[in-house]
Structure 1
Amino acid sequence: MAFSIDRDRLIKELEDLGRFNRTPEEGVTRFSFSPEDGMAREYLLSIFASMGLKVSVDGAGNMRARLEGSDPDAPAVLSGSHIDTVLHGGCYDGTVGTLGALEAVRAIAESDLPHRHPIEVIVFSEEEGSNFGSTLSGSKALVGKYSLEDMENLKDPEGKSMAEMARDAGYEPETMADFLLRPGDIRAMVELHVEQSVVLESMGVPVGIVEAVAGIRVVEIRMKGTANHAGATPMTLRRDPLVAAAHIMAQIETLARGSGTGTTVATVGKIACFPNVSNIIPGEIRFTVEIRDVKAAGIQSVLDGISALAPAIAASRDISLEIISVSDSDPVQLDGDIASLSEECAAKRDIPCVRMNSGAVHDACMLAPIVATGMLFIPSRGGRSHVPEEYSDPDDIEKGVSLLADVLYELAR
């Protein structure tokens, strides 16, 4: 089969959704539970209604729209993404996967081809973590990683909780337990997403089939010395934590390149200097190291390297040292059968594709331990994402959504 994707309709809906935006002319800002998010959801609900889809919304705001199959009791095939954005983000991150799933399901429905399993479009809430600093909050609630208590404790900078925001938006977080996704509820999940990197574009390939998603480990390194006068303190008598920290930072790239996996990346992304004055030797430095890899051994290799070199560098300069774990998530292996099916469907459509990994986390990561899960990527121009310049070519979007429709139908037959 070859489902017909209405590219013009899909691109128009992407543009329409981008208008529900708090920061016109400055990218797209649409946080979960915001008025803009509510209007975007009403827009989607109107499309779901026109298609005759059955809609349910859970206590965290995750929205599901169901196209019935010939066996309503069969486990559903799920596809979708998110519509929330970062501050001053773009029109494609998340929305391509959400509206792409919608267009794929619509194409299947319009084909009148029979399928046994229901197919559902899912819109995850609070994927970006823009409100509370915690990514994938909606999908975490859906699979039981976040309880009602967690939703009450997760708060924005003004002290408003996720549960309170959900209530204000019309959801009932107290009912979340009734919507939890359990093994056997869903047959498979496939998420389409923009790559948010340069691999596909650099290769000239329109579709990536994701095999694994990187785990992430973040540590904060705190170093204390002695703040003192920058002009009057001889170099030989200084306890400067910034110099010690710089020596550690300079080794992070070497540790990542030498991890042995070939897929490790490590980044020093946040630095705080106290008192941060030009004529005072710093007294304290704090900086983060974020390590990502699809293989746990790569992450551990960098951590081991930091644990070995940081104390030695600190001791050589009489600097105190603390290494504090901030966050930790394991690498996620996606379903090999769905990857192979995606490859087969791409070959039938003569769509070039490549197997690859994802360095960014996605809602699919939360579902992978529970249900067979796959991901498809399409290129991001210049690798840009989370910025107003974010863009994916309509030809690539059409190819990705066409392939998604084929894969969803094969899983639902």
Structure 2
Amino acid sequence: MTSQPKINPERLRALLDGINTFGAPDRSGGFNRVGFSDADIAVRDWFAHEMEKDGLKVSRDGANSLFGRFGPDTGASVMVGSHLDTVVDGGAFDGSLGVAVALECVRAMKEAGVTPKVPVEVVATSEEEGRFGGMLGSQAIAGLVTRDWLEQAADADGVLLTDAMRKQGLEPSALLNAARKKGSVKAFLELHIEQGPVLEREKLPVGLPEGATGVINLSVTLKGTANHSGTTPMDMRADAFAGLAEIATQIPAMIERTGSEIARITIGKVELLPNHPHTIPGEARFSVIIRDSSEEVMKGLNTLFGHVVSAVAGQHGLTFEIEEKSCIPPVAFDEALVSMLDEEAQRLGFAARRMISGAGHDAQTMMAFCPSAMIFVPSRDGISHAPEEHSEWADIEKGAELMLAALMRLAA
């Protein structure tokens, strides 16, 4: 006998807390489960065991993404989930909440005696946060990983993806065989925190992204001359940091000239060499992330950024190198799925806002493979990728209820 499935908030909170015992905060206050770190591998082993205890058929692919199948052994599945890895000193909700909600939905269905006609597949994708320049787990599922990229992919510290995988006992070449068969996934759904301030500002419990911005990931090096800071006249310096600073100050003008309202250019990780108090920086290495919902705008910003770097380098007597580490195009999510989520939100009485995601997500990559859509829940003060990241449980419960309703409809 079946009953109407219901989300169990206490069980969901306990599951999320269990995930966050791995890479738990130290003095930094943030969570650390960077892709292919010991904590990342350990949380996957733990979560696999949790799914096995629930009777799910558990498997892994060559990227070390986890899958837990509920329902028929054959036929195209509805895949639901997110990622378990974090950025350095990240928050407790980014990615892991979506994985926890996915498993809680299955637990609620099992508890109510529901047997889906269409299998539901819980997924915890691997290395979504882009340590190596992409969204590895979903790219592997979608068959987007190439041998050339695999052999060259490295993190900001120069660690090769292949070395990081082998250190954890994983075979990198298995990534090339991780692609799922076309048609094996009917739809992909992902619940995620908004990572922005819009839903909280408008006092809305749910957001429904219609698409996601693209991401261009650049690595830039400026080279000048390291010299004594006291004996080198100001007009005779080739100061790499001065060049970096001038480039940074020109970002608003670049956005004004070529971008859109949602265009973003961010200089994130910076390294100065030799990095001594009394030495003029002879080299500056820094990351640049360009985002927009239009591929044409992204390309325009990328071109303009290159022109600015070239001009600034010439003015400061510097040489420069710009390497494109990765490029993920913007996507529109499946309109039929977004409309279905909208209908279910209205049926549940939840005020929902359609919007564009300014952050990259697995659902974005999965659109190359199957129809995909997302559910957002608000982020307090719009903060994410930081220890202060938080979402209110009243909003989380509504997002989870909406996901459960969507899965019940798709799996019927």
Q: Same fold (TM over 0.5)?
A: yes
For the pair shown, the structure with the greater C-alpha radius of gyration is: 1
- 1:161 paired residue number: 163
- Letter paired with 2:296: A
- Letter paired with 2:295: A
Please list every run of 5 or more consecutive structure 2 residues that lacks an aligned counterpart in the other structure. Answer: none
- 1:395 paired residue number: 394
- 1:77 paired residue number: 78
CA distance in 1, matches of 2:16, 2:8: 13
Q: Flag the 1:22–1:184 CA change in 2: closer, same or farther, 3 A.
A: same
In 2, are the aligned partners of 1:81 and 1:97 still within 8 Å (CA)? yes
TM-score by length of 2: 0.85
User: Which segment is superposed worse, 13-22 or 155-164?
Assistant: 155-164
- Letter paired with 1:12: A
Correspondent of 1:54 among 57, 66, 71: 57
TM-score by length of 1: 0.85
Q: Flag the 1:181–1:91 CA change in 2: closer, same or farther, 3 A.
A: same
In 1, are the aligned partners of 2:247 and 2:309 still within 8 Å (CA)? yes
Residues 349-381 of structure 1 show CA distances to partners (whole Å, capped at 9, x for unaligned) of 111111122222222222110100111111122
- 1:293 paired residue number: 292
* Deviation (angstroms), 1:52: 2.5
Matches within 5 A, 1:10-409: 10-21=12-23, 23=25, 26-32=29-35, 36-37=39-40, 39-69=42-72, 72-113=73-114, 115-130=116-131, 133-146=132-145, 161-167=163-169, 179-225=178-224, 230=229, 235=234, 240=239, 242-316=241-315, 319-409=318-408
- Letter paired with 2:411: A
Q: Flag the 1:174–1:77 CA change in 2: closer, same or farther, 3 A.
A: same
User: Which segment is superposed worse, 219-228 or 92-101?
Assistant: 219-228
* 1:8 and 2:10 matched: yes
Residues 219-256 of structure 1 show CA distances to partners (whole Å, capped at 9, x for unaligned) of 34444555555555555555555445433322211211
Specify the SS of the correspondent of 1:91.
Answer: coil
CA distance in 2, matches of 1:317, 1:134: 30
Specify the SS of the correspondent of 1:268.
Answer: strand
* Deviation (angstroms), 1:395: 0.9
- Letter paired with 2:71: E
User: Which segment is superposed worse, 351-360 or 81-90?
Assistant: 81-90
* Deviation (angstroms), 1:347: 0.5
Please list every run of 5 or more consecutive structure 1 residues that lacks an aligned counterpart in the other structure. Answer: none
* Deviation (angstroms), 1:35: 5.2
Specify the SS of the correspondent of 2:169.
Answer: helix
CA distance in 2, matches of 1:206, 1:192: 13
Q: Flag the 1:62–1:250 CA change in 2: closer, same or farther, 3 A.
A: same
CA distance in 2, matches of 1:255, 1:117: 49
Q: Flag the 1:222–1:64 CA change in 2: closer, same or farther, 3 A.
A: closer
Q: Flag the 1:174–1:2 CA change in 2: closer, same or farther, 3 A.
A: same
- Residues paired across the two proteins, number: 406
Q: Flag the 1:173–1:345 CA change in 2: closer, same or farther, 3 A.
A: same
In 2, are the aligned partners of 1:189 and 1:374 still within 8 Å (CA)? yes
Specify the SS of the correspondent of 1:361.
Answer: coil
Specify the SS of the correspondent of 2:80.
Answer: strand
In 1, are the aligned partners of 2:145 and 2:175 still within 8 Å (CA)? no
Q: Flag the 1:296–1:11 CA change in 2: closer, same or farther, 3 A.
A: same
Q: Flag the 1:88–1:233 CA change in 2: closer, same or farther, 3 A.
A: closer
In 1, are the aligned partners of 2:99 and 2:124 still within 8 Å (CA)? yes
- Letter paired with 1:79: V
In 2, are the aligned partners of 1:274 and 1:283 still within 8 Å (CA)? yes
